[in-house]
Amino acid sequence: MDRTEPVDRPIGTTTVAGGRDAEDEVDLIPIRTYWQLARQRFIQHRLAVIALFTLLVLVSIAIVVPTFTGLEYRLTDLTERNAGPTLTAPLGHDELGVNLFVRLAKATQTSLIIGGAAVMIIVGIGTFVGSIAGYAGGWVDNLLMRLVDIVLSLPVLFIILMIVSFFGGGDVRVIIIAIGITGWTLAARLIRAEFLALRGADFVQAAKALGAGHRRIITRHILPSAMAPLVVAAALGVADSVVTEAALSFLGFGISATEASLGTMLNKFSIYFYSAPERILYPSLVLVLIVLSASFLGDGIRDALDPRQRIASK
Amino acid sequence: MTGPEARVTSQDRPDAPPDPESGSPLWKPAADTGSHTGRRGASGAETAPDAQGEVLVKVTDLVKHFPIRGGLLGISRLGAVRAVDGVSFDVRRGETLGLGGESGCGKTTLGKVILRLLPPTSGDVSIKDRPIFGLSGSKMKAVREDMQVVFQDPYASLNPRMTVGEIVGEGPLVHGLKNRVKREELVRELLGKVGLNQSHIHRYPHEFSGGQRQRIGIARALALNPDFIVCDEPVSALDVSIQSQVLNLLDDLQRELGLTYLFIAHNLAVVEHISDRVGVMYLGKIVELADVDTLYRDARHPYTVALLSAVPEPDPRRRRKRLVLRGDVPSPVNPPSGCRFHTRCWLREQLGNPENCVTDEPELRTISPGQQAACHWSEKITPEGVQSAAEHQPPVALAEAAAD
C-alpha cells in the first residue's frame, strides 16, 4: 500500500501551510490533565467504583470501631454468652460473650494492615528484581529469573510456617515479612516481562538517542508505562496476603489466639459450622469482599492509568 | 548559490580543532548566532553537494551480528544473524543519503547501530571526525546532540504518558535546560517549525493523527539542534496523502537548518524524491551506492535494476516489463558464498553462470564518478539485456508476478 509516488508539492507551499492542513479535530477536545482523564476513565469502570466504595467502608469500619472500643474486642462477659444481636452488638456475642461486631472490626483491621504492609514488600522487591532483570537482560536477567524460579518452587506455606515458628509466632511484623519475602515472584515476573517489552519500544529508544540516562529512562519512560502490571501485581498481592494470613491463623501459626484476625476467627468458630454458621459467615464474607474489591479496584486503576483507553461520550 | 565560500565560513575550518560550540543546542551560547535558522543558514542553501563535500558521518566496515543462543543456560552460541555485514559509506554535510532495500536487508539495524542504539559487533562510525564507539557515557551524551533519529511508527515512538511539551522538551532538559519557562518557549518554537499548533503543547500523543505525531517526533529530533538525523522509514507508516506532507516538511527543514539526513526507506519512489545519493542494501551489504539521478537512470547492479523495475509507473500508457526476482531473500544466518545475490541473479544467468559470482565476493568498486557497485559484471548490464531478461522469465516467476 505504501509504495506510492509522493504528490508533488505546489510551488510556494510552506511548512506552516502544511501544518494548517494537519490541524483538525484535536482542537475541539478540551484540554484535560492526565489525572483528570484518569479519574474520568476510572469513574466509567462501574465495578471498580463499587469496589472502591466497599473497600472504603471496610477500611473506615476497621479504623473507627477499634479506635473507639479499645480493648473491647477481647473483653469477655459471661452474662452475654451467645446473646443475640443488639444495637451495640449487631452481630451478637460468642460463647464467651465477646461482642462479635467489635471483634470482626478489629480482625478486619489486622488483616488489612497485614495485607497492605506485605504488599509493599511484595511490590517493592518485585519491582526491584523485575525491573533490573527486564532492563539489563542477558545474564543478569537469566540469573535473577532462575532465583525467581527457585523461590517459586519452594512450598510457600511451609516456608512461612518455618519463618514464623523460628522468629516467634504471633508477631504481626514477622508474619508480614514472611508473607512479603515469599510472595514477590509473581510481581517480579510481571514487571520483568513489561520491562523486556518496553526496553525495545521506539519511545524508549528515542529517549536513549536523546541522551537520557538509565535512571531517567526507567523512572520516566518504562515504569509509568509498566503501571498496569504493577497495579495488577499489587491487587493480587493484597488479596493473596490477606488470604495467606487467614490460612496461617486458621492453622494456628498466625496471630496469637487472643488477638483478632479473620483467620483466628475462622479457626475459633469452625466448630460452630452446623450450630451457628453465621459466625463463620461474617469473617468469610469480609475476606471475600477484601479480595474481590482489591482485584476489581486494581483493574479499574490499571485502565484509568492507560491514556489510550477511550472515554465514552455522554 | 554562494557555494564554496559559504561552506568555508559556516562550517569547521579545515585543520582547525572542532569548534566545541558549533553543534551546541539553542539554549547554550553558540559561536556565531544563537538562532536556529541563522546558524547554518548559508550552508543550508546548498542541498546538492558535490563529490568533494565535507564528510559529516563516516561509517567504516560496520558489522552487526545478532548471536543466536541456545543450550541449557542460553549461553552456547549456535550462529548469528548477519544483519549488517561490513558496510562502509560517507554521509556528506547537507546531503540526504537514501538507503533502500527489501525488508530484512539490515537497513534499520544499520541506522540503529550508527546511532549507537544497538552495540556494534565491529567497525567504526565517526561523526565530525570523532569515532563514537567506545565513548564513555558523558562523552556519548554530548555526541547525541549532533545526531538524532525519527522513527517509523509515530504511534510507538512517542511516550503515551507524556505531553507533547514533555516529549519535545526532554532532550533540552536532559542536556541541561532546566528552566521550565525557557524550555516551553523552545518547544513552542519547535512546534511552529514543524507545522503544529503551539497550543497543542499540553496534549497527549494519542490525541493526534499519524502525520501530526510524526511531526512531534521530528520536533523532538530537532530540539537538540542536531547536524545529522537518521530517518528510519519516517513515512512508511503514514497515510499516502500525509506522506508527501511529511516529506516536504523534512525537505524544508533540511534547507532551513542545513540538516544532513540518512533516509532509510524501502519505497524507492520516496527515496528518489528526497535523496541526493542512494545506497541499496541486500542481505546486510551495500550493493550499489550512487548519485540519485545516476542510479535511477543507469543502475549498475542487477539487484538494483530488479528493484527499480518494481517501482510503479505513474503513466499507464508507458508499459514496462517487470523484472521479477525468483525466490526469497536467503537467510542472513547463512548467506550465499561469493556474491550474496548470485542465487537470484538474472544477469548471472544471462552470462552463463560465471564461476567468480559463487567464489569471489565482489567489492564495492567505482563504476563511474559518483557511482559504486558491488558486481563483477556491472559493465555487462545493458538496456537490451534487461529487456530480454524481463521477457525470458520462466513462467513460475510470471505467475508470482501476477499474484502480487
B window 15-74, beta carbon within 8 A of A: 73-74
Count of CB pairs separated by less than 8 Å, A with B? 155
Alpha carbons within 13 A on the beta-carbon side of B42: 13
pTM above 0.90, yes or no: no
What pLDDT score does A12 carry? 39
| Inter-chain touch B248–A18, beta carbons under 8 Å | yes
Alpha-carbon gap: A59 to the closest alpha carbon of chain B (Å): 31
Pick the CATH number of A33-305 from 1.10.3720.10, 3.40.50.150, 3.20.20.140, 3.40.190.10: 1.10.3720.10
| Inter-chain touch A34–B149, beta carbons under 8 Å | no
Q: What is the mean pLDDT of each run of 10 residues along chain B (404 residues)?
A: 40 41 53 38 40 81 87 72 90 92 86 92 90 87 91 88 91 89 92 90 86 93 93 87 90 92 89 91 92 89 87 71 77 87 86 86 88 88 76 55 48
Alpha-carbon gap: A185 to the closest alpha carbon of chain B (Å): 20
What pLDDT score does A30 carry? 63
Q: Which residue has the higher pLDDT, A235 or B47?
A: A235
What pLDDT score does A309 carry? 67
Report residue A27's pLDDT band, with 50, 70 and 90 as the boundaries: low
If you average pLDDT over residues A224-250, what whole number do you get?
86
| Inter-chain touch B156–A201, beta carbons under 8 Å | yes
Query: Which residue bears the cell 497543542?
Result: B200
Q: What is the 3-state secondary structure (H, E, C) of chain B?
A: CCHHHHHHHHCCCCCCCCCCCCCCCCCCCCCCCCCCCCCCHHHHCCCCCCCCCCEEEEEEEEEEEEEEEECCCCCEEEEEEEEEEEEEEEEECCCEEEEECCCCCCHHHHHHHHCCCCCCCEEEEEECCEECCCCCHHHHHHHCCCEEEECCCCCCCCCCCCCHHHHHHHHHHHCCCCCHHHHHHHHHHHHHHCCCCHHHHHCCHHHCCHHHHHHHHHHHHHCCCCCEEEEECCCCCCCHHHHHHHHHHHHHHHHHHCCEEEEECCCHHHHHHHCCEEEEEECCEEEEEEEHHHHHHCCCCHHHHHHHHCCCCCCCCCCCCCCCCCCCCCCCCCCCCCCCCHHHCHHHHHCCCCCHHHHCCCCCEEEECCEEECCCCHHHCCHHHHHHHHHCCCHHHHHHHHHC
What pLDDT score does B261 carry? 94
What pLDDT score does B322 carry? 73
Task: Tell whether A28 is within 8 A of chain B (Cβ).
Answer: no
Alpha-carbon gap: A215 to the closest alpha carbon of chain B (Å): 12
B window 323-342, beta carbon within 8 A of A: none
Beta bridge partners of B80: B67
* Nearest residue, CB atoms, B195 vs list A18, A202, A224: A18
Residues of chain B with C-beta less than 8 angstroms from the C-beta of A133: none
Three-state DSSP state, A170? strand
The ipTM assigned to this model is: 0.78
Residues of chain B with C-beta less than 8 angstroms from the C-beta of A33: 202
What pLDDT score does B25 carry? 58
Task: Tell whether A206 is within 8 A of chain B (Cβ).
Answer: yes
pLDDT tens profile B139-157: 899 899 999 999 988 888 9
Cell of A93: 456475642
B399 vs B404: CA distance, rounded Å: 9
Query: Which residue bears the cell 535512571?
Result: A215
pLDDT tens profile A115-166: 999 999 999 999 999 999 999 888 899 999 999 999 989 888 888 888 888 8
| Inter-chain touch A20–B195, beta carbons under 8 Å | yes
If you average pLDDT over residues A260-281, what whole number do you get?
84
Q: Which residue has the higher pLDDT, A168 or A197?
A: A197
Task: Tell whether A29 is within 8 A of chain B (Cβ).
Answer: yes
A90 contact partners, CB below 8 Å, separation of at least 6: A101
Q: Is the dihedral of CA B356, B357, B363, B369 positive or negative?
A: positive
Task: Tell whether A6 is within 8 A of chain B (Cβ).
Answer: yes
Closest CA to B145 of A206, A210, A202, A214: A210
Residues of chain A with C-beta less than 8 angstroms from the C-beta of B174: 210-213, 216
Residues of chain B with C-beta less than 8 angstroms from the C-beta of A209: 115, 117, 144, 147-149
Task: Tell whether A138 is within 8 A of chain B (Cβ).
Answer: no
What pLDDT score does B36 carry? 40
For a pLDDT cut of 90, what percent of chain A falls above it?
A: 26
Residues of chain A with C-beta less than 8 angstroms from the C-beta of B237: 2
Task: Tell whether A18 is within 8 A of chain B (Cβ).
Answer: yes
Report residue A189's pLDDT band, with 50, 70 and 90 as the boundaries: very high
B184 vs B167: CA distance, rounded Å: 11
| Inter-chain touch A9–B208, beta carbons under 8 Å | no
| Inter-chain touch A9–B115, beta carbons under 8 Å | no
A14: closest chain B residue by CA: B252
Task: Tell whether B252 is within 8 A of chain A (Cβ).
Answer: yes
Task: Tell whether A215 is within 8 A of chain B (Cβ).
Answer: no
Cell of B189: 518554537
Query: Mean pLDDT for chain A?
Result: 82
If you average pLDDT over residues A164-193, what whole number do you get?
87
What pLDDT score does B135 carry? 86
* Nearest residue, CB atoms, A9 vs list B75, B170, B248: B248
What pLDDT score does B223 carry? 93
A241 vs B168: CA distance, rounded Å: 43
With residues binned 3-state (H G I as helix, E B as strand, rest as coil), the percentages for chain A, rounded to 5, are: 75, 0, 25
If you average pLDDT over residues A48-77, what whole number do you get?
87
What pLDDT score does A31 carry? 63
| Inter-chain touch A211–B148, beta carbons under 8 Å | no
| Inter-chain touch A31–B249, beta carbons under 8 Å | no
A233 vs A119: CA distance, rounded Å: 9
Tell me the C-alpha to C-alpha distance, in Å, between residue A199 and each of A134, A135, A223, B140, B305: 8, 6, 11, 19, 39
B19 contact partners, CB below 8 Å, separation of at least 6: B12, B31
Task: Tell whether B245 is within 8 A of chain A (Cβ).
Answer: yes
What pLDDT score does B165 carry? 92
CB contact burial A53-75 (16+ within 10 A = b; e otherwise): ebbeebbebbeebbeebeebbee
